[in-house]
Structure 1
Amino acid sequence: MNWFNNVRNRIPFISKRSTEDTLWHKCRDCNQMVFTKEYEENLSVCPECGFHGRIGPSARFLQLFDDMSWEELPAPKVKEDPLKFRDQKKYVDRLKAARSATGESDAFVNARGQIKGQDAVIGVQDFAFMGGSMGLAVGETFVRGARAAIEAQCPYIVFTASGGARMQEGGLSLMQMPKMTVAVEELREAGLPYIVVLTDPTSGGVMASYAMLGDIQISEPKALLAFTGRRVIENTIREKLPDNFQSAEYLLEHGMLDMIVERSALRDTLAQLIAFLAPSKQAA
């Protein structure tokens, strides 16, 4: 038995968990298994069906900014757990777990850099952080991103990905909607573009506010975009909805989006929009 254990311990192997987590990615749309390396090299887009997977701020900044270089704007300090909320866990414990898992302080991150030589501030909502939920920190970070763009006289580009308002902050989370709307108006008064890229999924109070206020509304393909659940709407209006009712393609067809852009073409598209919408600002 000692000999057997000695030989077994010398045989290299990969655990089942490590294999699933590091070697393979299962597409959420077509359920195909794809090598993680191939998936990441394809910008986290499924090579089989073209479904655009969820990515965080660092990956997004890496794909968009010139020379893989950007300056991340400081995260604001806000009151944590203002309602002393607790369900199955304390809210503060959920925040700690999300921060440990993502490495971010909250669900929205801003960075400043250049896209093909043109200045821009980009804000990215991270669905991995408590479903990208909108709370005090998200609202304040958005406002600071808008004002950083005004200070730099450049566009503010926001990538949305959220399940909606953060229930642990109650009515305070809903108050972020008008607050962020005012920040968008400040951008417009400054004559600066506000560009929104909706990603999978964007829903709830986020979809009902700043996600739909862009001067240009873009979406990634096949993104789920919804204010509320399909079943809730069908029960309310007593009608059956189309199968693709809450897809980016349906919204584009019905005039709620300006364009759907694949991730591989997004950098070029944003550079063209900046040059068209804010040429005088860039020249200055």
Structure 2
Amino acid sequence: MSWIDRVRNAIPFVAKRETPDNLWHKCKGCGQMVFVKELEENQHVCPKCQHHERIGGRLRFEYHFDAGSWTVLPNPKVAEDPLKFRDSKRYTDRLKAARADTGEQDAYLNAVGTIDGHRAVIGVQDFAFMGGSMGQFVGEAFVAGCEAAIRESAPYIVFTASGGARMQEGILSLMQMPRSTVAIEMLHDAGLPYIVVLTDPTSGGVMAAYAMLGDVQIAEPNATLAFTGRRVIESTIREKLPEDFQTSEYYRDHGLIDMVTHRHQLKETLGKLVDYLAGPKMAA
């Protein structure tokens, strides 16, 4: 036995301390390490640079509905793999993996509750579920959210976050664009407000459909908003685009959206809009 082994064996054994790997989060905005508990208490906004992290439906409901007032609406029933699609993986396998990662059935969730005492229905796209892509489920859930708002005589508020149409469903995913437009017209016919909150990122077929048809268009700060990619546009028009092109602030400054609102002020802003647009007759 070497002297190193003798010394090492003579040292009292101290159990290795296990450090959880989920205590810290690296901010995608500034690259700094943020204590996860601090990030959660700050509504998943970086306390150092104010970068807005991507979040799912249930957190949106918690942040924007009155406490204890909201109920998640049932998921719609649709054919899961209508085209029997397969690329490097089967579509059904991708769905199973996304469901295991997120705990949700698909990329869209509706809930009904109150915002500052006013009844409202909120629909949220979750980018964590296959990039928030729009397939039959998302289209059906959007229509169901509009119908729920009509039943409740309440505004419909949608938080968008999507890479566009879901390629695994082909033309069936693109058909959700006109379906969502008709559903919005149903809201208008019922005299109900349709409010859109654009979050990072919103693009493709979703951006070309219900994401830009709101009576009021709001966006979170510095969100990427686009129909198609920056490089595609530059190669087409053969010009260099501004650095802030396809951001919330660029869209606001050029009149494409109404306001950019920090997540901390978003519930208050939505409460004022619902009160102004809906009026006392829609108070809970």
- TM (norm. structure 2) is 0.94
**Does the CA-based 8 Å contact 1:61-1:68 persist in structure 2?**
no
Q: CA deviation at 1:87?
A: 1.0
Q: CA deviation at 1:32?
A: 1.3
- Aligned residue in 2 for 1:82: 82
**Does the CA-based 8 Å contact 2:158-2:196 persist in structure 1?**
yes
User: Hey, what's the Cα distance between the residues in 2 that align with 1:69 and 1:134?
Assistant: 28
Give the gaps of 5 or more residues in structure 1: none
User: Hey, what's the Cα distance between the residues in 1 that align with 2:245 and 2:94?
Assistant: 33
- Structure with max Cα Rg: 2
**Does the CA-based 8 Å contact 2:156-2:193 persist in structure 1?**
yes
Instruction: Map 1:180-219; keep pairs closer than 5 Å.
Output: 180-219=180-219
- Aligned residue in 2 for 1:13: 18
- Aligned residue in 2 for 1:53: 53
User: Hey, what's the Cα distance between the residues in 2 that align with 1:245 and 1:29?
Assistant: 17
User: Hey, what's the Cα distance between the residues in 1 that align with 2:97 and 2:283?
Assistant: 44
Q: CA deviation at 1:283?
A: 4.8
**Does the CA-based 8 Å contact 1:123-1:159 persist in structure 2?**
yes
3-state SS, counterpart of residue 192 of structure 1 = coil
**Does the CA-based 8 Å contact 2:252-2:259 persist in structure 1?**
yes
User: Which structure is higher in helix share?
Assistant: 1
Q: Alpha-carbon deviations, 1:217-242, whole Å to 9, x = none?
A: 00000100011000000111111100
3-state SS, counterpart of residue 243 of structure 1 = coil
Q: CA deviation at 1:69?
A: 3.5
- Aligned residue in 1 for 2:225: 225
User: Hey, what's the Cα distance between the residues in 2 that align with 1:281 and 1:30?
Assistant: 45
- Aligned residue in 2 for 1:147: 147
Q: Alpha-carbon deviations, 1:157-188, whole Å to 9, x = none?
A: 00000000001001110000000010001000
- Aligned residue in 2 for 1:245: 245
Q: What code does the residue aligned with 1:93 have?
A: D
- Aligned residue in 2 for 1:125: 125
- The reply on whether 1:44 has 2:44 as its aligned counterpart is yes
**Does the CA-based 8 Å contact 1:153-1:281 persist in structure 2?**
no
- Aligned residue in 2 for 1:35: 35
User: Hey, what's the Cα distance between the residues in 1 that align with 2:90 and 2:206?
Assistant: 24
3-state SS, counterpart of residue 182 of structure 1 = helix
User: Hey, what's the Cα distance between the residues in 2 that align with 1:119 and 1:105?
Assistant: 25
- Aligned residue in 2 for 1:95: 95
- Aligned residue in 1 for 2:257: 257
User: Hey, what's the Cα distance between the residues in 2 that align with 1:173 and 1:105?
Assistant: 17
Runs of 4 or more, structure 1, over 2 Å off, are none
3-state SS, counterpart of residue 200 of structure 1 = strand
User: Hey, what's the Cα distance between the residues in 2 that align with 1:281 and 1:228?
Assistant: 41
User: Hey, what's the Cα distance between the residues in 1 that align with 2:83 and 2:124?
Assistant: 26
Give the gaps of 5 or more residues in structure 2: none
- Aligned residue in 1 for 2:66: 66
User: Hey, what's the Cα distance between the residues in 2 that align with 1:40 and 1:228?
Assistant: 32
Alignment length, in residue pairs?
A: 278
Q: CA deviation at 1:271?
A: 0.5
3-state SS, counterpart of residue 185 of structure 2 = helix
Q: What code does the residue aligned with 2:172 have?
A: L
Q: CA deviation at 1:280?
A: 4.7
**Does the CA-based 8 Å contact 1:208-1:227 persist in structure 2?**
yes
3-state SS, counterpart of residue 171 of structure 1 = helix
Q: Alpha-carbon deviations, 1:89-131, whole Å to 9, x = none?
A: 1100100111111111000000000011110000000000000
